[in-house]
Amino acid sequence: MTKEELLEQIESQGIKYIRLQITDINGALKNVEIPSTELESSLTNGTMFDGSSIEGLVRINESDMLLKPDINTFTVLPWTVEREKVGRFICDIHTSDGKHFPGDPRYVLKKVMNEMKEYGYTPYAGPEPEFFILPRDEKTRQPILSPLDKGGYFDLLPIDLGERVRKNMVETLQSMGIRVEAAHHEVANSQHEIDFRYDNALRTADNIQTFKLVVRTIALLNGLWATFMPKPFFGMNGSGMHTHLSIFKDGKNIFYDPNGTYQLSNELRWFIGGVFKHIDTITVLANPTINSYKRLVPGYEAPVNIAWSVSNRSALVRIPMSRGEGTRLELRSPDPTANPYLLLASVFSAGLEGIKNK
């Protein structure tokens, strides 16, 4: 919608406050709240903030920076509806002279997508973020480090608190315009997965950040604690964020070749080659915490070797059986602590280099 239509909608819905959201270099969400009466000015001129106080931005003598809301990311935070409605925009970071800040993770991904556009390519991604739901101490309000249930993969449990909360999370995501495809209990006790439909790389990264906000918020509102820590419990499966990747050109999936071996194209193989060439660097971004490497050990379906397969779920790259428009590769190393903008930027940049150099 146009800026004028958006402002009219916000006024008609009685939305009093707007949160302007960005992601720092570590993948953490940051935001500032402004009255809705200031939104028109923010959309036109940006909102000034102190960039030196956010991890990975600028030095104190360069602190004045601007938030520029992306009009396509507006949504209402559903948990505020019963109180005063609050709207949300995801923003791009600009310097005080109005230029894109090169250290903005969202802008880094946009640059890679623009480079791919020069070749006629549109990158798509679909994540599978996993997380644990834990009980919370009523007095300290901190998580209790023990499982909430004894369930396993795809288990149909008696309707307990964890199951109800996950359903609430799905409903909240759908109300915010994120199309959920599946939700289920994962392998480990108290572990869950919610999958949402693939989209272009930028919208997928935005959706991952919104997903994390929703999961944590809904858990807290229900007296529980959601954690995306990759390996919170020794001897149990950790939480990954398997990421499905494909590229379209002129409306067709370039990874599909009906006459190729396994019906896979050379472009898909070259893409994997580029990813493998740069996997050390990608791993720094896909697995950014010390705890990440407690997950990447043998015996738990997490990859430990640089290999690809059309079936084996322990491979670094797996090719799901779907063909045609659904042909894709699944990178299985990332975990949910990754900054999604930098993760997708690095993987698609490496893959594009692989295609260019064959």
- Is 339 part of a structural domain of the chain? yes
pLDDT confidence of residue 153? 56
Are 127 and 84 in a shared domain? Answer: no
Candidates 193, 206, 257, 267; catalytic one: 193
Query: Tokens 């071996």 sit at which residue?
Result: 261
pLDDT confidence of residue 49? 75
Using the 8-state DSSP alphabet, how is residue 235 labeled?
Answer: T
Of 59, 82, 101, the residue at which a domain comes to its end is 101
- Is 242 a known active-site residue? yes
Are 129 and 267 in a shared domain? Answer: yes
pLDDT confidence of residue 124? 97
Question: What distance in Å separates the CA atoms of residue 234 and residue 261, rounded to the nearest whole number?
Answer: 40
Say if residue 19 carries a ligand binding annotation. no
Are 190 and 306 in a shared domain? Answer: yes
Of 49, 80, 101, the residue at which a domain comes to its end is 101
pLDDT confidence of residue 136? 87
Are 167 and 136 in a shared domain? Answer: yes
Rounded to 5 degrees, φ, ψ at 345 are -60, -45
pLDDT confidence of residue 263? 94
What is the count of structural domains for the chain? 2
- Is 269 part of a structural domain of the chain? yes
Are 252 and 313 in a shared domain? Answer: yes
Q: Which residue type sits at 272?
A: I
Are 141 and 275 in a shared domain? Answer: yes
pLDDT confidence of residue 58? 52
- Is 106 a known active-site residue? no
Candidates 149, 257, 267, 330; catalytic one: 330
Q: Which residue type sits at 107?
A: Y
- Is 106 part of a structural domain of the chain? no
Are 174 and 279 in a shared domain? Answer: yes
Say if residue 130 carries a ligand binding annotation. yes
Are 349 and 311 in a shared domain? Answer: yes
C-alpha angle 29-31-36 in degrees, rounded to nearest 5: 145
Instruction: For residue 50, give the H/E element and its range.
Output: strand 47-50
Are 95 and 120 in a shared domain? Answer: no
Candidates 94, 166, 328, 332; catalytic one: 332
Cα distances (angstroms) measured from residue 299 to each of 191, 216, 238, 283: 17, 29, 11, 19
- Is 4 a known active-site residue? no
Of 101, 124, 143, the residue at which a domain comes to its end is 101
Which one, of 71, 98, 88, lies nearest residue 32 by Cα?
Answer: 88
Candidates 19, 106, 242, 269; catalytic one: 242
Say if residue 332 carries a ligand binding annotation. yes
- Is 107 part of a structural domain of the chain? no
Domain that holds residue 25: 3-101
Going residue by residue through the chain, which has 358 residues, state the pLDDT in tens, using 9 for 90 and above: 888 999 999 999 999 999 999 999 999 998 889 999 999 999 999 888 776 666 666 555 456 788 999 999 999 999 987 778 899 999 999 988 888 988 899 999 999 999 999 999 999 999 999 999 998 888 888 888 877 777 655 455 555 667 888 889 999 999 999 999 888 887 788 889 999 889 999 999 999 999 999 999 999 999 999 999 999 999 888 999 999 999 999 999 999 999 999 999 999 999 999 999 999 999 999 999 999 999 999 988 899 999 999 978 889 999 998 898 999 999 999 999 999 999 999 999 999 999 999 9
Question: What distance in Å separates the CA atoms of residue 13 and residue 193, rounded to the nearest whole number?
Answer: 33
- DSSP lists the bridge partners of residue 123 as 247
Are 66 and 137 in a shared domain? Answer: no
Using the 8-state DSSP alphabet, how is residue 190 labeled?
Answer: T
Q: Is 7 exposed, middle or buried (0-12, 13-18, 19+ CB in 10 A)?
A: middle
Are 87 and 176 in a shared domain? Answer: no
pLDDT confidence of residue 344? 98
Candidates 19, 88, 130, 136; catalytic one: 130
- Is 288 part of a structural domain of the chain? yes
- Is 128 a known active-site residue? yes
Which one, of 316, 295, 294, lies nearest residue 305 by Cα?
Answer: 316
Q: Residue 17, CB half-sphere, CA atoms under 13 Å: how many?
A: 13
Using the 8-state DSSP alphabet, how is residue 230 labeled?
Answer: S
- Is 178 part of a structural domain of the chain? yes
- Is 273 part of a structural domain of the chain? yes
Q: Tell me the CATH number at 227.
A: 3.30.590.10
**Cβ partners under 8 Å of residue 150, min gap 6:** 189
Are 241 and 328 in a shared domain? Answer: yes
Q: Tell me the CATH number at 39.
A: 3.10.20.70
